[in-house]
Amino acid sequence: MEPCPPPDFEPRKPRVPLPAGATDCHAHVFGPAAEYEWSPKRGYTPPDCSLADYRRMLATIGCERAVLVQPSVYGTDNTAHLDALAEAGPAFRMVAVVDPDLPQRDLEHIAVAGVRGVRFNVVSKGGLALDGLERMARRIAPLGWHIQLFVDADTIARIEGKLASLPVPVVIDHMGHVTTDLGLEHPGFQALLRLLRGGNAWVKLSGAYRTSRQPTAPFSDVVPYARALIEAGSERCVWGSDWPHPMVNDRPMPNDGDLADLAADWAPDEDTRRRILVDNPARLYGFA
């Protein structure tokens, strides 16, 4: 399996400074590969990208808080990200991927460590199957956690009713993974807008380079999608870098300063941008 390319380790500062308390709500750390074993079911092999590398990027773009998301390459072994979470301290939170039968006491233990949700990933290989969604939602409801989903647009349309009825909030990765060639009227995107308006769903304004048909920033074809999501529920939108951008093999590696500037393109209003970057993450992830 060919390794993924590394991120741009020299991010530039954003043209539009991020507000104090800004939060990167979607990132991963990888490796060292000699210490943390990859899942044999993974769909890609990332390069080593350490917590120190990530924190340098955050300092450059002006993010003070962050959320680590368990990637598919580690399966349900959360050790690498729990170790990073412990090292990072109270300005970080985490979304885990857990075995469906993990004892409740273990869920409570990682809640104390800073975990705030469980991720289901059906886009990358090695994620949890959606048939366990409702049971997991019932198990994590007493913890105040949420379900995070990385699914494609067709899946959102198919399970819209189920997502709306879950007893916990649902956070959708990467703007629903709706590629811009599908159009704003695609049933999956329209379902996502309805879920946002309904009050139970959140969305991550992230991964523009995954959904754009343009190879480089500013990914202007994504602007109508991001603004439609913000209009549908700006109080439940959060922003994420998706550092270190795994599986970007078919286009130039984005610079994280360019990605930070997308927040200003999508939400030109300063108050709305602060809501997305500061207030909403504080509410969703429990930052003081």
Q: Is 183 exposed, middle or buried (0-12, 13-18, 19+ CB in 10 A)?
A: exposed
Q: Is 89 exposed, middle or buried (0-12, 13-18, 19+ CB in 10 A)?
A: exposed
Residue 170's DSSP bridge partners are 147, 201
Residue with tokens 């504080």: 282
Distance in angstroms (rounded) separating the CA atoms of residues 260 and 18: 8
Chain length of the chain: 288
User: Is residue 242 annotated as part of the catalytic site, yes or no?
Assistant: yes
The CA-atom distances, in angstroms, between 240 and each of 1, 112, 128, 159, 164 are 27, 23, 22, 24, 23
The CA-atom distances, in angstroms, between 182 and each of 113, 237, 241, 248 are 40, 21, 23, 20
Report helix, strand or coil for 69: strand
Nearest to 167 by CA among 197, 136, 192, 191: 136
Report helix, strand or coil for 248: coil
Q: Of 24, 242, 258, 261, which one is the catalytic site residue?
A: 242
The CA-atom distances, in angstroms, between 184 and each of 22, 189, 192 are 29, 6, 11
Residues tagged active-site: 242
